[in-house]
Amino acid sequence: MDLGQLLEDSGAILRGHFLLTSGRHSEIYFEKFRILEQPHVLSALCTEIAAQYRGANIEAVAGPTTGGIIIAFEVARQLGLPSIYVESENGVKTLRRNKTLPPGQRVLVVDDVLTTGTSLLESRQAIETAGGEVVGFGVLIDRSQPGVEFGAPLYGAYKVEAQSYAPDDIPDWLAEIPVTKPGTRVASAPSR
């Protein structure tokens, strides 16, 4: 299956000038909700993640709110495992609703689009604080730059080289395009 074509057809790949949730700027944006609202698209990407970690002794699959919980559910369903939802409380990612983990439970953390890794690292901290052990990461789309370290294997169902720029390093051609700020996390840097 051509995942790139599936993403194009779903309307998930947008082009223009975008202020990403990381505060960086890019000419390409992946609208996760176009993936999450189409079960056949989400399932195809989750199948790739599940296949990568099948046989890795994973005991649960965790994902952060909002999109990550849907992904965690689907990957966990495909692996026949329970899912865990990482939520924010007072600005900190945590397990809520009286959720506990057996000490050392082996957890796969999943999310939607990887750029800087903040959500994955925050989710890892929440799982470790609750006593679990993060043994892998899976994302629907990996658009990260080389050099991001997670301390456990990372797998992206769809890997794309999509350049992003710091607010003070936006190329002139991109700066000429009006900026759009999609996403759900508060950006860490102002737009230019």
CATH of the domain at 157: 3.40.50.2020
What residues are designated binding site for orotate? 115, 143
What residues are designated binding site? 111-119, 143
Token pair, residue 133, equals 């052990």
Query: 24: exposed, middle or buried (C-beta count within 10 Å: 0-12, 13-18, 19+)?
Result: buried
Does an H or E element contain 17, and which? strand 13-19
| 158 strand-pairing partners | 141
pLDDT in tens, 116-151: 888 999 999 999 999 999 999 999 999 887 777 888
In a domain, 109, yes or no: yes
In a domain, 59, yes or no: yes
23 or 177, which is more confident?
177
In a domain, 58, yes or no: yes
In a domain, 187, yes or no: no
What residues are designated binding site for 5-phospho-alpha-D-ribose 1-diphosphate? 111-119
Domains identified in the chain, total number = 1
Provide the pLDDT confidence category of residue 1 given band limits of 50, 70 and 90. low
In a domain, 190, yes or no: no
Give the residue among 138, 146, 147, 139 at the shortest CA–CA distance from 113.
Answer: 139
Q: Is the per-residue pLDDT at 190 higher than 50?
A: no
Q: Which domain holds residue 10?
A: 3-180
pLDDT in tens, 84-114: 999 888 888 878 887 888 899 999 999 998 8
Q: Is the per-residue pLDDT at 185 higher than 60?
A: no
In a domain, 189, yes or no: no
User: What pLDDT, on a 0 to 100 scale, did the predictor assign at position 188?
Assistant: 39
Please provide the average confidence, as pLDDT, over all residues in the chain.
Answer: 88
Q: 83-89 and 154-159 as β-strands: parallel, antiparallel, unpaired?
A: unpaired
In a domain, 103, yes or no: yes
Give the residue among 133, 94, 93, 134 at the shortest CA–CA distance from 110.
Answer: 134
In a domain, 120, yes or no: yes
